[in-house]
Amino acid sequence: MTDDGLPDDHLPDYLLAALRMAAGVDPVPGRVSDAARDAYSLRLPGGVVAAPYEIGAVVGARSEGDPAMHRFGADGITLDVEVTVTDGRLDVAGQVSPAPGPGARVEVRTPGAGETRTPSESGHFAVAGLPSGWISVVCHRPGLAPVATRWLHVRD
C-alpha cells in the first residue's frame, strides 16, 4: 500500500493520471505511458543499490567474446559480474562474496525477462542466453534487503 492507501500496483496509473491533469495539455502518447509502466515494474522495493568499484583489467573465464567485468558492493557483500556477448545473446557469470548461504538466490534481470539461480556454496552463479541490452543482478538473502547492481547496458 502507498501512503495514500492505494495498492502499489495502481500507483503507475494514478501517477500518470495526476501528471495528465496537472499538465492540462494533450494526453501522453500511449507508448510513453507504456514505457513508464515498464520502468516502474523494474523497481526493487526495499532494495539496496550496490556501488560500483574500480577494478583493473581482468582476463575472463571464457575465451569466446570479449568479457566485461564489473564489481559492486553494498550491505556487506561484493557482487562480481562478468558479461560476455555470444551470437548476440548475453552470458552472465559471477560471484557473491562472501557466499550468501542457504536460502539465497541471485536474479539476473533484463527489462523483458530474467533468470534466477541458487548460488553455489562458493557464491558462484551463471545465466546464459539472455537478450542483449540492459541487465541488473540482484542478490536475495533471507531476512535481509536485496542488493542490486545498477543497470548495465551491454551491446554486441
How many domains does the chain fold into?
2
69 and 81 Cβ atoms separated by less than 8 Å: yes
Q: What CATH code is carried by the domain that includes residue 105?
A: 2.60.40.10
Residues 140 and 77 in one domain: yes
Cβ distance 53 to 73 under 8 Å?
yes
How far is it, in rounded angstroms, from Cα 139 to Cα 146? 6
Which residues neighbour 73 within 8 Å (Cβ) at sequence distance 6 or greater? 50, 51, 53, 79
100 belongs to a structural domain: yes
The pLDDT tens digits of the residues spanning 4-42 come to: 554 555 667 777 777 777 777 667 778 877 777 777 777
The answer to whether residues 128 and 98 belong to one domain is: yes
Summarised one tens digit per residue, pLDDT across range 95-141 is 999 999 999 999 999 988 789 999 999 999 999 999 989 999 999 99
Q: How much is the pTM?
A: 0.74
Say if residue 57 is in the same domain as residue 133.
yes
Determine the structural domain holding residue 19 and report its residue range: 8-41
Give the lowest-confidence range in 55-59, 78-82, 112-116, 139-143: 55-59
Report the pLDDT averaged over residues 54-74: 70
Residue 2 lies in a domain: no
Do 29 and 65 belong to one domain?
no
* Residue 113 CB contacts under 8 Å (≥ 6 apart), including other chains: 130, 131
Phi, psi dihedrals of residue 19, rounded to the nearest 5°: -65, -40
| 41-54 average pLDDT score | 86
* Per-residue model confidence (pLDDT) at position 62: 47
